[in-house]
Copies of this chain bind each other. A is one copy, B any other.
């Protein structure tokens, strides 16, 4: 966008080139501030504490944004907009969060309330949509017209870019790739109420659940116990990655099976949509990297139709853990630019 001299000079002065991206998760809030070249200036983290309710969580989001700006030594007046990615159904036009299960939110006017608090324009969008936007504009989907993102974390979310544009379906509810049924007839129960969903066998939560069961119920030995100082609730992607690298048998068994299922999910998407690439992101993928990617790719190859194995291009996002905040920041910039 270009301003000619004198055009709306007070509302969007030249110095307002910074945007803040926020990733509001069920357990943590991440915020980061970027300059006009998408360079990271500062980044802060805070626990979400959903038990505080919408007002309390919103206060924590505002604090996190303020701390990020303070860390970058930027005044509020220098910020063009805040983008916030939310794990749920969102109306981007109004900034209303219709439902966010992990936060226990229903019809929270997040955009309006946060704008009042921060005195900065706020753009609200779905977190997976934000991550996909980042992959498309700055990540490994940059030069692609047709691709699918799979974000593997607490849950499994999907973003579709078809003919160069994000596709969310007729009512904006598409991309629920975590709820593809991959184990019919009584697979493990999923958070959505069904059984055998991909998310129920291959998300980080499912993986952690199986490892805890292995250690507690089946009395399996695993270095995970030591790595989290005996408190199995503290298992994070980083700990899984370390145990995997060390060759821990239980962790290998569970993660390899999860990778095989993720590969089946990727193959289904390839068979249905024939994208140029499937791009994997999310904490688990970023922490585990190459080895898991290879296993996922092999499983996908084994399940793609016919001689389609050469059509299997599975990549990581190229954005590390930052796809979510970066995408929210991009949304703040581009939505405001319209």
Chain A residues within CB distance 8 Å of chain B = 145-146, 158, 160, 162-163, 167-177, 179-184, 192-194, 197, 260-261, 264, 267-269, 271-276, 302-306, 308, 311
B170:A274 contact, CB within 8 angstroms: yes
Residues of B within 8 Å of A267, CB to CB, are: 181
CA distance A261 to B180 in the complex (A): 12
Q: Is the CB of A274 within 8 A of B177?
A: no
Q: Chain A interface mostly helix, strand, loop or mixed? A: loop
Asked if B274 and A179 make an inter-chain contact with CB atoms under 8 angstroms apart, the answer reads: no
Sample 11 A-B pairs with CB under 8 A, ordered by A number.
Answer: A158-B272, A160-B273, A162-B162, A170-B274, A174-B271, A174-B272, A179-B303, A181-B267, A182-B184, A194-B305, A269-B272
Residues of chain B within 8 A of A182, CB atoms compared = 181, 184
CB distance from A186 to the nearest CB of B (A): 12
Tell whether, in the assembled complex, residue B179 and residue A271 are in contact, meaning their CB atoms are under 8 Å apart. Answer: yes
Given contacts A181-B264, A264-B181, contact A305 B274 (CB under 8 A): no
Bound complex: CA A304 to CA B182 (Å) = 13
- Could you say which residues of chain B place their CB within 8 Å of the CB of A194? 302-303, 305
Chain B residues with CB under 8 Å of A271's CB are 174, 176-177, 179-180
Query: Known contacts being A171-B311, A273-B169, A274-B172, is A306 close to B192, with CB within 8 Å?
Result: yes
Give the residue name and chain of the B residue nearest to A306 (CB): B192
CB neighbours of A179 from chain B (8 A)? 271, 303-305
Closest to A197 in B: B305
**Cα A306 to Cα B261 with chains together (Å):** 21
- Residues from chain B with a CB closer than 8 A to the CB of A197 are 305
Do B170 and A306 touch (CB < 8 A)?
A: no
Please name all residues of chain B whose beta carbon is closer than 8 Å to the beta carbon of A268 when the two chains form the complex: 180-181, 268
With a cutoff of 8 Å between Cβ atoms, the chain B residues found around residue A308 in the complex are: 173
Cα(A173)–Cα(B276), bound, Å = 11
Closest chain B residue to A185, Cβ basis:
B183
Q: Quick one: closest B residue to A163, CB to CB?
A: B167
List the B side residues contacting A171 at CB < 8 Å.
274, 311
Contact of A146 among B170, B260, B305 (CB under 8 A): B170
